[in-house]
Chain A
Amino acid sequence: MANENILVIGGGPTGLEAAKGIADLGYKAILVEKRERLGGTPDASGYAALTPDMRDAGEAMDEMRAAVENNPNVEIMLNTEVTGAEGETGNFKVKAKSAGNEVEIEAGAVIIATGFTHFDPGRETQKYGYYEHDDVLTLVDAEKMLKEGNFVRPSNGEKPKRVAFIQCVGSRDRQIGNEYCSKVCCGISSKQAIEVREMVPDCKVFIFYIDMRMYGYWENEIYWPAQEKHKVNYIKGMATEIIKKGDHLIVKGEDTTMRRPMEVPMDMVILAVGMEPSAGTRQVADIFGVKKNQYNFIETIGGALNTVSTNVEGVFAAGACTGPSDLEDCISAAGSAVMKSIAAVRRVAVPA
């Protein structure tokens, strides 16, 4: 008798959406999360507002969590990490360590939703000094400050007068090895720029970029308002060094529009760090024998026509564990994974 439960590994937005979808279709989801609470990276990293609609991230995660907690069709296992797996569609036996105890989970199909981690700017090719200067931050640091409503210079606690965002940190770089574009950072930086302008109206905000990746509605929902309503300065030209001078940080770059080198003082610099596969993504992929691509994201087979199937039948992957994804991608992929995983167990249960 084939098992028709679906194991969802990862309790972030993708995993939460998948678990809810499975439950809505009348099947049982087993949602495994290694942290002590659900919500994934938006929760762990303290995101303030979501891109692009500026919805409060905490509120959005509360909604997603509420849909699965107290849901009779969703069994939630927190503090649980997958350690081994064997079997096939209809009959997966997965070992896990749950709050210190060894457990075994039986499921018919698996959805990996283990997400991403942010690029560590210490590995950046350019000289941004994240590990030297208090006032150099990442998007994650900035997000935390914005959530608290306390956007100040870490060095002296004062409100900044000039803030710069630097795009493509850890992405689009052959020397680091992350040649891809992380997709969301242009939008997130612009969103944060808008938040900073609103929170600190005296503060001038600059974004140094190579290209502005504003797909679809992001163009008119984020980019144009950022420039037109909030007067964020977009400068086409990348920075190569950040170094302290007196009380400021000097950002050295080229203003390619003016075709000359520029050195501009800033109070804070925010590095738009890219996405990399999380440690969980690498580990879980190896446990299930799922193929990873050259960047160690999970490889989905089927190109543009199949964004969730892996090389292992019955094991699906959705969201940022497969590559740079925005929230809309994650939610959509979760739905696709739910559909395919249920179809897979039904095929085994009721052979054609």
Chain B
Amino acid sequence: MIHLPVVKATDRKFEADPDNAPTEDIREELFQLEKEGELEVIRVPDNYIELPTKYGRMKKIPVEKTWHHKSCGQCGHIPGYSTSIFWLNRQFGLDYYDPTDQTSCTAWNYYASATSNPEAQAAVAIRNFAAADEVGYFPLIHCGTSFGHYKEVRHALVHQHDLRRKVKKIMERLGKKLVIPEEIVHYSEWVLAMKDRIAERQEIDMSNITATVHPACHYHKLIEEDAIYDSEIYGAQRTAIVTGTLQALGINVGDYSTWFDCCGFGFRHILVSRDFSRSFSVQRKIEVMKEEVDPDIVVTHDTGCVTTLDQSQFAGRAHDKKVGLPVMSDSQVAALAMGAHPYKVLQLHWHNTDNKPFLRKLGLDIDKQWAEFQAEVDLIKAGKKEYMTWEDADK
């Protein structure tokens, strides 16, 4: 069992040079197309923080006025994930929008079954962006798959005028404009941008916690240049996302030899070829993490990754695999650090692998907290309350 610190830059220091980036800046290309009347760009609201990306270009991360593009898997199966993102926004009194005029990005289905085509995928994306624009908010993407997919859609729309033409026609039929946001922003980038403010309000000491980080493939492998890289973290050789957030909370982040590996979600596989997903995630990720770091928690920033890593461990236990690492999202960890209720806000009862040892290690009285949650549920069961509110969650 080895506790490894996050690998920092050696004596060598790498600085990316944005003036010598090998690609065109997609945002410049968007503005050019806007000038030509091809589309409209939704500007990042005035209140933003900048973070560096792979080639050194700075990315604008909106702090508020965000339109929360929710995730199927989160809202469907791990709703504490979405809840924690909203909770963080509310703690800072930020103006945000949780839409009902939102469809799934449909990328999970696309990558699983290919029962779609680029035109449909692009139209779905633009429809959502237009819905955000119509209420005056800026899209913030909750899911890693949506994020990667929308980056691809943006790239396709900028470079394929035929596709643009087709999508514009569909939008016209729906009475909408062809709009694309100035930046495609993932919520974990927002959490990273806010890390110092979150750390300022940290109530729970996490310095005795070791975590491993799993970066979502679709976050940093699709359109690789548009992901956060920082020369202080991994020497800018790997994405800084999630790791940067956890370090700001005082958590020890341990490195392991399958860091770059996919979790094994597989889109189609997690649903109909499950032996692949559970074998891969247990043998290539969880077991390696356990053997090399033995962390208290595994932290990731995508729906599919949380699902696969968390749920697969049950089958692993049945086969005497060395598993048993609780999995959660960076937003849940950040919220917990700020004092969020593990059941009323983090909703950890939807997660599978036992997270109680982790919560107890933080000094939380989880029996009491579970009772508090149960009290709310009992009120609902008895018909005395229709829903648990935000106020109830923070009592």
Contacts and interface: CB of A to CB of B under 8 A. Distances in A.
Tell whether any CB of A sits under 8 Å from a CB of B in the complex.
yes
A133 B14 CA distance: 13
Interface string A130-141: 111110000000
For the complex of A and B, the 3 pairs showing the least CB-CB separation, nearest first, are: A131-B235, A122-B14, A245-B257
Contacts of A132: 7-10, 234-235, 237-238
Given A120-B14, A175-B22, A130 B237 contact: yes
A80 to B, nearest CB: 26
A interface bracket (residues with beta carbon within 8 Å of B): 20 to 34
Contacts of B22: 175-177
Interface residues of B, number: 24
B1 to A, nearest CB: 11
Given A176-B22, A246-B292, A131 B257 contact: no
Nearest to B12: A131
Nearest to A177: B22
20 contacts: A122-B14, A122-B16, A127-B238, A127-B260, A128-B237, A129-B234, A129-B237, A131-B234, A131-B235, A131-B237, A132-B8, A132-B235, A132-B237, A133-B7, A175-B22, A177-B22, A241-B260, A243-B257, A243-B259, A244-B255
Interface in B351-386: none
Interface in B235-293: 235-238, 255-260, 292
B374 to A, nearest CB: 44
A131 B2 contact: no
A128 B16 CA distance: 16
Interface of A: 120, 122-123, 127-134, 175-177, 241, 243-246, 250, 252
Nearest to A178: B22
Contacts, number: 61
B236 A244 contact: no
Contacts of A129: 7, 234-235, 237-238
Nearest to B8: A132
A127 B217 CA distance: 14
Contacts of A176: 22
Nearest to A125: B224
Contacts of A244: 4, 7, 255, 257
Interface of B: 2, 4, 7-10, 12-14, 16, 22, 231, 234-238, 255-260, 292
Contacts of A120: 14
Contacts of A175: 22
Nearest to A154: B10
B6 to A, nearest CB: 9
A241 B260 CA distance: 8
A131 B260 contact: no
Interface centre among A132, A177, A244 (most CB of B within 10 A): A132
Contacts of B255: 243-244
A137 B255 CA distance: 20
Contacts of B237: 122, 127-132
Given A122-B14, A134-B10, A241-B260, 15 more contacts: A122-B16, A122-B235, A123-B16, A127-B238, A129-B7, A129-B234, A129-B235, A130-B235, A132-B8, A132-B10, A132-B235, A132-B237, A132-B238, A133-B7, A245-B257
B177 to A, nearest CB: 33
Contacts of A243: 255, 257-260
A130 B256 CA distance: 17
A1 to B, nearest CB: 44
Nearest to B11: A134
A177 B24 CA distance: 12
B237 to A, nearest CB: 5
Nearest to A246: B2
Interface centre among A123, A177, A252 (most CB of B within 10 A): A123
A131 B259 contact: no
B4 A131 contact: no
B123 to A, nearest CB: 29
Contact of B10 (A123, A131, A177): A131
Contacts of B8: 132
A30 B10 CA distance: 42
Nearest to B292: A245
Contacts of A133: 7, 10
A261 to B, nearest CB: 11
Nearest to A141: B12
A176 B22 CA distance: 6
A243 B212 CA distance: 15
